Structure 1
Amino acid sequence: MNIGLETAIRDITGIPAERIAPLSGGCVGDVYRVDLANGQRLVAKTGQNGSGLAIEGMMLKSLARLSNLPVPDVLHAEDTLLLMQFIATAGGINGAAQEHAAELLADLHNVRGDAFGFDLDTLIGGLHQPNPETGRWRDFFAQHRLLYMGREALNAGRMSGGLMDRIEVLAGKLERWIEEPEFPSLLHGDMWTGNVLCNNGRIAGFIDPAVYFGDPEIELAFSTLFGTFGQAFFSRYNEFRPLRAGFFEERRDLYNLYPLLVHVRLFGGSYVGSVERTLSQFGC
């Protein structure tokens, strides 16, 4: 057993750990399941100073405070240790789970903000995600999503200056495709399969958020990029929040440029080609 971790958990909870076992996942450090002597089960994430675990804890607490979205309860959050509730899972994202997810996310997207962005910068995939409060969605998406992450990828040597030039051209004419949403909606921000916990056809919880207020369409688009949600989800979501015309035909691919740029910054490789094809699709 990890003695240092065991001691920290006992100091925080007042209860000794009977078992600490590694779990998969974790962008910035190690992840463990912790079984306490009183039967309570927790998840512990460990990291170094500057890891962002404190921000992750803040985001989970923000979702719990501002919405009804099921997320793990946070017991302790600092960059060296994030301690939170363990959520039991069983089965994958079947049709029933997709419908439940649609209900939960439609409710989340009804939470209104005063501006696009957030009161603090957050993280996505362990990367800094700027959230200056902005009055117009197009400006926020252009400056703080496309251009910011494009420059991060460029500075990391993951893509060429020529590709960055094309991103700048696209960012300058977003009004051709993007209308301003009715209001800034609260978003989970990192909606892919690994962050959706299911239990026998129901959503047990959402983890690893990248929180901010934005257009819900960027969240819906991301949910299709790696096949997280499909027809069952969108049919149910549309009953609560009807999709605007043109989402599947155009804006889905436009919004997915942001998570693709995140993946370019992290991994490079084939994701660069995906960005190039999307830019060509929009004439850039």
Structure 2
Amino acid sequence: MELFIRETLEKVNDTSAVRSIKSVSGGDINQSFYVETDHRPYFIKINEKVASHFFQVEAEGLRLIKETGAIRVPEVFHYDCPDGDEKAALVMEWIEKGSSDASHSLGKSLAHMHQHTSVKYGFGKPTFVGELNQPNEWSPSWTDYYSRYRLGGQLETGVTKGTISGVREERLKKLINRIEEFIPENPKPSLLHGDLWGGNWMTTRDGEPVLIDPSILYGDHAFELAFTELFGGFPSNFLDQYNTYFELPEDYQDTKPIYQLFYLLVHLNIFGEMYGPQVDRILKNYVG
């Protein structure tokens, strides 16, 4: 691994001496390392046997968020597009974590990011949510995009994996067919992080919020906010601060469970039946 890291650093024109290589936590999908050279410190993710666009779409998502100027993301120095079973790396800026309260600036910054929009919904190319491939196409309708590429995509995965069958499958199909009854067809297509749980944002030593590990798309900003409430990890006044700069829809509490359903289906399809009861409860509540 050390040799691969050194070869990767040469791709960013850093041939200075490597002072330290330390394994760090970075999720279940990649191996992650703190690497310090005489030139600078880096955060490097490494994986193998992944799709050629695996790190490319993450880097592109970080670029799009950075271009909004609304919130900080790590600078990307290099990413590989592997062929076959090759190792691949994503080389980024190392950001030191802090412990300051960033609730006000996080809510404000995310609200400003969400005000950067597209004319359609989706992303136009496949991304990833966790370890699962996430198909995306541009769509003029949010209900069409959400039912086809989000709920429909997880339905297809779940049927293949055996996590969705029987009554659960019937209810999910019914919800997909009736989705226009429960979510808006044409909300503003906001730039969304797409995988914004508590582990995908951090605070610098200066109290500045930073977003990491995006799974980018353009969609209803309520979709993003619903996920922030699913597993915690956000300050108690985060939504209040957000609402000051970008008002939540009046029907947010009604649509929230359906938006959370997508992420629960993802967890069901990755981790198994421990998430089944939550999925079933939401489906039963909406379609009986």
Specify if TM > 0.5.
Answer: yes
Matches within 5 A, 1:192-231: 192-199=197-204, 202-229=207-234, 231=236
| AA partner of residue 41 (structure 1) | P
Distance 1:61 1:280 in 2: 40
The verdict on how the C-alpha distance between 1:166 and 1:37 changes in structure 2, with shifts beyond 3 A counting, is same
Indicate the larger mover: 212-221 or 175-184: 175-184
Indicate the larger mover: 152-161 or 117-126: 152-161
Please say if residues 222 and 249 of structure 2, whose CA atoms lie closer than 8 Å, have aligned partners that are also in contact: no
Distance 2:285 2:70 in 1: 37
Matched residue, 1:277: 281
Gaps in structure 1 of 5+ consecutive residues: none
Q: In structure 1, which of residues 54, 57, 65 is the aligned counterpart of residue 56 of structure 2? A: 54
Please say if residues 35 and 41 of structure 1, whose CA atoms lie closer than 8 Å, have aligned partners that are also in contact: yes
SS in 2 for 1:114: coil
Indicate the larger mover: 71-80 or 200-209: 200-209
Instruction: Report the identity percentage.
Output: 28
| AA partner of residue 243 (structure 1) | L
Instruction: Give 1:13 shift.
Output: 2.9
Please say if residues 124 and 138 of structure 2, whose CA atoms lie closer than 8 Å, have aligned partners that are also in contact: yes
Q: In structure 2, which of residues 243, 246, 263 is the aligned counterpart of residue 241 of structure 1? A: 246
Please say if residues 91 and 199 of structure 1, whose CA atoms lie closer than 8 Å, have aligned partners that are also in contact: yes
Distance 1:153 1:99 in 2: 38
- 1:71-121 per-position Cα deviation (integer Å, ceiling 9, x unaligned): 1110001140100011110227xxx42221111110111001020001322
Instruction: Give 1:230 shift.
Output: 5.3
Matched residue, 2:19: 18
| AA partner of residue 130 (structure 1) | P
Q: In structure 1, which of residues 33, 41, 64 is the aligned counterpart of residue 66 of structure 2? A: 64
Distance 1:49 1:62 in 2: 26
Instruction: Give 1:163 shift.
Output: 1.3
SS in 1 for 2:229: helix
Distance 1:220 1:122 in 2: 20
SS in 1 for 2:152: helix
The answer as to 2:259 corresponding to 1:255 is yes
- 1:205-233 per-position Cα deviation (integer Å, ceiling 9, x unaligned): 11111100000000000000001335411
Please say if residues 224 and 230 of structure 1, whose CA atoms lie closer than 8 Å, have aligned partners that are also in contact: no
CA RMSD across the alignment: 1.9
Indicate the larger mover: 16-25 or 54-63: 54-63
Moved over 4 A (4+): none
- 1:217-267 per-position Cα deviation (integer Å, ceiling 9, x unaligned): 00000000001335411111111111122212x211111001001101111
Distance 2:38 2:94 in 1: 15
User: Aligned pairs, how many?
Assistant: 279
Gaps in structure 2 of 5+ consecutive residues: 82-87
Distance 2:136 2:69 in 1: 19
Indicate the larger mover: 158-167 or 118-127: 158-167
- 1:40-89 per-position Cα deviation (integer Å, ceiling 9, x unaligned): 11111111142512322222122223453311110001140100011110
The answer as to 2:114 corresponding to 1:109 is yes
| AA partner of residue 212 (structure 1) | L
Instruction: Give 1:11 shift.
Output: 4.1
SS in 1 for 2:45: strand
The answer as to 2:94 corresponding to 1:86 is yes
